[in-house]
Structure 1
Amino acid sequence: MATAFWDGKSEARSGFWASGHTPTLIAAFLYFDLAFMVWVLLGPLAPEIARTLALTPAEKGLMVATPTLAGAVLRVVNGLLVDRIGPKTAGAISQVIVIVGLAAAWALGVNSFGGTLALGVILGFAGASFAIALPLASRWYPPEHQGKAMGLAGMGNSGTVLAALFAPALAKLFGWNAVLGLACLPLTAVLVAYWLMAKDAPNPPAPKSFGQYLTPLGSADAWWLMGFYAVTFGGFVGLAASLPIYFTDRFGLTTIQAGYCTAACVFAGSLVRPMGGALADAVGGVKALTAVFAIAALALVGVSMAGSVGAALGCFVLAMLALGTGNGAVFQLVPQRFAREIGVMTGLVGFAGGIGGFYLASSLGLAKQWTGSFAPGFLIFAGLALAALAGLTLVKRGWRARWGAAGTVRL
């Protein structure tokens, strides 16, 4: 998101922590972290929910994919809202919607497949936190510290680990419906801390019209970057939502064991996201993504052939390491091409990532129902990673010529 608070002199000479507003940065991280936790909450609970409601494999896949799709769409909505009422207020509204939705689901019960989809739409507001938390934090920081600010706030995607670790155990103790109510407790605590700590940066950028949000779509480069993020982030969040189902259905693990396996995979992908940006700075985003797509495709092919928990887990960790690195690498490229439209492109690229996650999670369920195996779903997504690699190879020469001539950093 474009910087709004920077005088160009004293701030430029300040260290990172002195150059912005630390309480807001912490509030943005906490909000993002807990939001991502509940965004994928249906994944760890899916085996128990499916058993209770007698869901088919395709219904299970669609259930865990719905929050991802809703989050993708709502990211664009939240981007418009942030411009008009400010990120702090937009974030508070989003948090209240999620808390009220979870409380209602707990109190009334979720008793049908349609009910799980309705809950998934509500959880989409949590996934759309990306479009709020990042501008809330980054508007306080000068250009030379934007990467650090967005990286620290963006590390909130580690909240997916919390869901995988704690939701299955709590469901075993209290029942899966009770987990929906229990989630409201940390969410409410974070909402209070957020409201007390967060502060909108002064002199925000002028609001953009909906038409202005669509302007970058006239450039082929925008579509390429969105496509690349649909593979990297889409793969990350799609796997985060689907792995509990995979490990329980494929290897007969308990929900708690599947949660631990999922947490290990998701932790790997979350940890390397900021490292992916640093790697892209060092070797160039194109080179980093070239390795990312090749490794991810290889790892997913390995998953499709894995005959043991250990082999599958190793391949998933490798895939998540690659995809997490790719998430950071894509956002190293975005500001080089769209420096003036970085806020708009953050929303559009994030939208594409959500669409990719919805596709992967839902396609795995369909593959299981139609063929009796998850393998075709993984192989198709591996093919998409190879298609992204081919596309990157196709455009990289033109990017280096055009972006390099403009004096941007290395690709």
Structure 2
Amino acid sequence: MTQPSRSGHTPTLIASLLHFDMSFMLWVLPASLSVFIAEDLHLSASLKGLLVAVPILTGSLLRIPVGLLADRLGGRLVGAALLAFLFLPLFAGWLLPPTVATMFLVAAATGVAGASFAVALPLASRWYPPERQGLVMGVAAAGNSGTVVVNLVAPRLAAVMGWPAVFGIAMLPLALVLTIFLLVAREAPGVARPSAAALARVFTARDAWFFCLFYAVTFGGYAGLSAVLPILFRDQYGATPIVAGQVTAMAAVVGSLSRPFGGLVADRLGGVRVLAITLAGVALVYALAARLPEWPGMLALMVVGMACLGIGNGAVFQLVPLRFGRDIGLATGLVGAVGGVGGFLLPTLLGAARQTTGSFGAAFAVMAVGAAVVAALLQVLAVVQDGWRVGWRAPVSSVEEA
């Protein structure tokens, strides 16, 4: 494959950022309105968790086929088609009668926005050389700041206009982003399209599945917490919908801004080292959260946890392009898809724990153990495999064998 231009392409990087930002806004839109929806439709705790988890699952599962389409047809074409599709669930959420069945269908269809990950990131990544991948991928993926915007704005609009109207209003920025994306995004020249051999190479690589596991903790944690925190703050601490949205946005902005920082630090110190530290931090945060401290303490924990998760996201995707440079589109789709399933499991687990035990604490305890086990696994890999020890920043004989 032709090496990316060292000069990169700033308009495409900005277009990718906007694509991912808008998509992330719509991906978590049902979650940002979940307090209003749950109270109007009288949802149980488990159904609340499932409602905010369904879009994450849809988007995650679609990342592989959408990534394959983007590799075959071009990220610009597929990215534009994805944005155009999203007008349908927004229109349905705005005008269809608000029933439980309707909202679960709208949530599932809105989840298509989560597949932007497999389009926007490779589209930007292919323009840049290996030594800039951590920063570039961090900047493009900082579009998850859409979580911040939607949690600040959507509850306020819902309080004034009603939550169905928010779906209609969301079509306005969607139209703007689609127009900008079509005008400025460009495909990197000389990019080879994936073959069946490339597909087999990625899907049979053990390293790819390890990345999936690590990303299930970092991105799954970020997406899952972004979706479920309004419910947690409302049900556990009695916060109003607007306050719950504000504090969720505050935590989310920390996670969003820390992602490019994580990529930059990983470029300097090594992605494996940075990822190991952040996984340990995540496990500690979850263990402390299992005690369900008072409101200020829980808020502080969630902010620190989001910072760790964001840095971990940046570290993971500093490593993925180095390990799978020629197959970045396929690898991004796989890691994003399987890793994103963690974002489905987290709110589902929290909702189920609340439903069966009356408390969120047991779910946080399980999450703490899981993060600790994954952190230990990374340490083992760094000892026994050359690629994980050096982060693929130097030629490693075992990389292609893994």
Measured in 1, the distance between the counterparts of 2:156 and 2:11 equals 32
Identify if the C-alpha distance between structure 1 residues 345 and 401 changes in structure 2 by more than 3 Å, giving closer, same or farther: closer
Residue 172 of structure 2: aligned partner: 185
Of 327, 332, 350, which residue of structure 2 is paired with 1:364?
Answer: 350
Residue 399 of structure 2: aligned partner: none
Report the CA distance between 1:150 and its aligned residue. Answer: 2.3
Paired residues for 1:187-206 under 5 Å: 187-206=174-193
Paired residues for 1:124-143 under 5 Å: 124-143=111-130
Contact 1:3 1:143 in 2 (8 A): no
Aligned letter for 2:308?
A
Residue 98 of structure 2: aligned partner: 110
Identify if the C-alpha distance between structure 1 residues 409 and 171 changes in structure 2 by more than 3 Å, giving closer, same or farther: farther
Of 142, 157, 177, which residue of structure 1 is paired with 2:144?
Answer: 157
Equivalent pairs counted in the alignment come to 396
Contiguous gaps of at least 5 residues in structure 2? 397-402
Measured in 1, the distance between the counterparts of 2:301 and 2:392 equals 40
Identity %, equivalent residues: 46
1:25 counterpart = 2:48: no
Residue 147 of structure 1: aligned partner: 134
334-343 or 301-310, larger mean C-alpha shift: 334-343
| CA offsets 1:201-236 (integer angstroms, 9 cap, x no match) | 333322434x74343232322221111110011011
Contact 2:155 2:245 in 1 (8 A): yes
Aligned letter for 1:213?
L
Identify if the C-alpha distance between structure 1 residues 358 and 401 changes in structure 2 by more than 3 Å, giving closer, same or farther: closer
Identify if the C-alpha distance between structure 1 residues 238 and 407 changes in structure 2 by more than 3 Å, giving closer, same or farther: closer
Of 262, 274, 277, which residue of structure 2 is paired with 1:276?
Answer: 262
Report the CA distance between 1:135 and its aligned residue. Answer: 2.0
Measured in 1, the distance between the counterparts of 2:186 and 2:97 equals 36
Measured in 2, the distance between the counterparts of 1:153 and 1:300 equals 28
Contact 2:134 2:264 in 1 (8 A): no
What TM-score do you get using the length of structure 2 for normalisation?
Answer: 0.93
Paired residues for 1:305-384 under 5 Å: 305-384=291-370
Report the CA distance between 1:5 and its aligned residue. Answer: 4.8
270-279 or 101-110, larger mean C-alpha shift: 101-110
Identify if the C-alpha distance between structure 1 residues 378 and 333 changes in structure 2 by more than 3 Å, giving closer, same or farther: same
Report the CA distance between 1:367 and its aligned residue. Answer: 0.6
Of 43, 68, 84, which residue of structure 2 is paired with 1:55?
Answer: 43
Report the CA distance between 1:284 and its aligned residue. Answer: 2.4
Residue 95 of structure 1: aligned partner: 83
Measured in 1, the distance between the counterparts of 2:391 and 2:371 equals 29
Aligned letter for 1:34?
M
Measured in 2, the distance between the counterparts of 1:31 and 1:407 equals 30
Measured in 2, the distance between the counterparts of 1:212 and 1:406 equals 19
Aligned letter for 1:179?
V
Measured in 2, the distance between the counterparts of 1:246 and 1:3 equals 48
Measured in 2, the distance between the counterparts of 1:215 and 1:391 equals 23
Contact 2:135 2:263 in 1 (8 A): no
175-184 or 22-31, larger mean C-alpha shift: 22-31
| CA offsets 1:61-111 (integer angstroms, 9 cap, x no match) | 111001101111111111111022211110111011111221122122331
Measured in 2, the distance between the counterparts of 1:85 and 1:193 equals 20
Residue 40 of structure 1: aligned partner: 28
Report the CA distance between 1:151 and its aligned residue. Answer: 2.3
Aligned letter for 2:337?
F
Residue 400 of structure 2: aligned partner: none
Measured in 1, the distance between the counterparts of 2:366 and 2:224 equals 13
Measured in 2, the distance between the counterparts of 1:68 and 1:97 equals 17
Report the CA distance between 1:402 and its aligned residue. Answer: 7.4
Identify if the C-alpha distance between structure 1 residues 215 and 267 changes in structure 2 by more than 3 Å, giving closer, same or farther: same
Paired residues for 1:224-243 under 5 Å: 224-243=210-229
Measured in 1, the distance between the counterparts of 2:23 and 2:236 equals 29
Task: Give 3-state SS (helix, strand or coil) of 2:104's partner.
Answer: helix
| CA offsets 1:134-172 (integer angstroms, 9 cap, x no match) | 122222334444433322211111111011111110100
Aligned letter for 2:238?
G
Residue 16 of structure 1: aligned partner: none
Aligned letter for 1:95?
L
Contact 2:381 2:389 in 1 (8 A): no
Aligned letter for 1:375?
G
Contact 1:3 1:140 in 2 (8 A): no
Residue 9 of structure 1: aligned partner: none
Measured in 1, the distance between the counterparts of 2:384 and 2:70 equals 34
Please provide the CA RMSD for this pair.
Answer: 2.1
Measured in 1, the distance between the counterparts of 2:242 and 2:392 equals 52
1:297 counterpart = 2:272: no
Identify if the C-alpha distance between structure 1 residues 27 and 306 changes in structure 2 by more than 3 Å, giving closer, same or farther: same
1:221 counterpart = 2:207: yes
Aligned letter for 2:96?
L
Of 29, 47, 65, which residue of structure 2 is paired with 1:77?
Answer: 65
Give the 4+ runs in structure 1 shifted more than 4 A. Answer: 2-5, 401-407
